[in-house]
Structure 1
Amino acid sequence: MPRPAQRAVLAHVTALADLEDLADLVWPAHCAGCARPGPVCCGPCARAVRTGVLTELPDGTPVRGCARHDGPARQLLLAVKERHRAQARPVLADALAAQLRELVPTGPVRLVPVPTRRASRRSRGGDLVADLAARTARRLRAGGRDAGVDRCLHLVRAVRDQTDLDAAGRRANVHGAFALRGGPPTGPCVVLDDVVTTTATAGEAVRALRAGGARVDGVLTVTVA
């Protein structure tokens, strides 16, 4: 049974969702990517977030993104992260599932979401990265793929918001911040994050997983800056 504090958070999130539904009835809906009147994500913006981009970490680990962190893809992600446009999450999950099939074409796979700071979870009404991982895994299973989510990575010390940090600052901020709790995921796994900028966070997640004995086949992200 949820504790009182958990029930209060759930009630708050439900109230936000109800307000969003009411707002769609009162004000015309608009695309989260281009702001034109219409559905939460229009056709051109949905295609923009599925262009695909491939890069890698300094150690050669492949990083597969749905799109570059600009234009409609960036606006869609910001709408979900900062403006509570939860209706756009399925669009991002569809794009992530498509890119995961490119990153790891066949076989079982476990998605490992990057840990989210408590302050970020509070401001966004929950753990966005974990939610996207769960939605993506469901889409893969619907297509007959053995896919799941393993939330085995945890923060072991406090980290700062990285928005205003440069590459060196970000590396120092997350160095040694993640650790594996429990056993490693069974079989191949993929780290999932919402945006990869300097690769510092993704690299730390991969390091922690491999230090715990996990097989990491790559990193999956919505956008790559």
Structure 2
Amino acid sequence: MSPPALPAALTAVTDLADLVWPAHCAGCGRPGHVCCPPCSRALRTGVVTALPDGTRVRGCAPHDGPARQLLLAVKERGRAEARPVLARALADQLGELVPTGPVRLVPVPTRRASRRARGGDLVADLAARTAHRLRSTGRDAGVERCLRLVRAVHDQTDLDASGRRANVHGAFALRGAPPTGPCLVLDDVATTTATAREAVRALRAGGVRVDGVLTVTLARVGG
């Protein structure tokens, strides 16, 4: 089931916010930009790995430096005006996983506590913004919110790799009819890849074609 696309006018206004209301860069603190040119370039480094089953995982940048600070500014410090910056980077990197043709983004489900703390579902919002940017270039892109949490999971911040695997094991399931065509799992960050593995498992168990995992930042493989 796809959510409504973001209104074009709202997206255009948000994308131009850094021109209308200059701010400090969310990545480095430099005045005058929501995201300064050096930090914007850092967010487009491109980093890749693979899950144990061979599924490709692509991050816009490693989970360090300005890219990490940009993501944390959006997630933890309320810098909503920087969300379009992340969506642009995701749209740019998506072509490395699915170069042409239709594509559907499947956001990883977000815990209710996280939605409350961040004023909504950040991952679903990034998926909608990314799909909108792709459609603006003429590409057939959409969002399928077809994963659901089937049991409680805990915040993973303080868990090690094995703890994260146990925390999300069997936590996701397909909701509704499986989407057709190539799909990408979308998340904000992959550290141990435990969440990505569980999302891919749940989708493929429901008959979904998963062509890869796309994240804003990618930390390391393991777990």
Structure 2 length as normaliser, TM-score? 0.88
Q: Does 1:57 align with 2:51?
A: yes
The percentage of aligned residue pairs carrying the same residue is 85
Residue type at the aligned position of 1:194? D
Map of 1:140-219 to 2, 5 A cutoff?
Answer: 140-219=134-213
Deviation at 1:39, TM superposition (A): 1.0
Partner of 2:124: 130
More helix by share: 1
Give the Cα separation in 2 of the matches to 1:173 and 1:96: 27
Q: Which runs of 5+ in 2 are unaligned?
A: 1-16
Partner of 2:100: 106
Partner of 1:16: none
For each residue in 1:110-155, what CA deviation from the matched residue of structure 2 results, as whole angstroms up to 9, or x when unmatched? 0000000000000000000000000000011011110000000000
Give the Cα separation in 1 of the matches to 2:85 and 2:28: 14
Give the Cα separation in 1 of the matches to 2:140 and 2:53: 28
Q: Does 1:116 align with 2:110?
A: yes
Give the Cα separation in 1 of the matches to 2:170 and 2:69: 31
Give the Cα separation in 2 of the matches to 1:37 and 1:99: 27
For each residue in 1:53-80, what CA deviation from the matched residue of structure 2 results, as whole angstroms up to 9, or x when unmatched? 1111111100010000000000000000
Give the Cα separation in 2 of the matches to 1:67 and 1:46: 10
Deviation at 1:29, TM superposition (A): 2.2
Deviation at 1:201, TM superposition (A): 0.2
Match of 1:38 among 32, 48, 53: 32
For each residue in 1:164-221, what CA deviation from the matched residue of structure 2 results, as whole angstroms up to 9, or x when unmatched? 0000000000000000011111111000000000010000000000000000000000
Give the Cα separation in 2 of the matches to 1:197 and 1:51: 17
Q: Which runs of 5+ in 1 are unaligned?
A: 1-20
Residue type at the aligned position of 2:39? C
RMSD, aligned CA: 1.3
Residue type at the aligned position of 2:184? V
Residues paired across the two proteins, number: 201
Give the Cα separation in 1 of the matches to 2:55 and 2:180: 19
> SS of the residue aligned with 2:96?
helix
Give the Cα separation in 1 of the matches to 2:23 and 2:87: 21
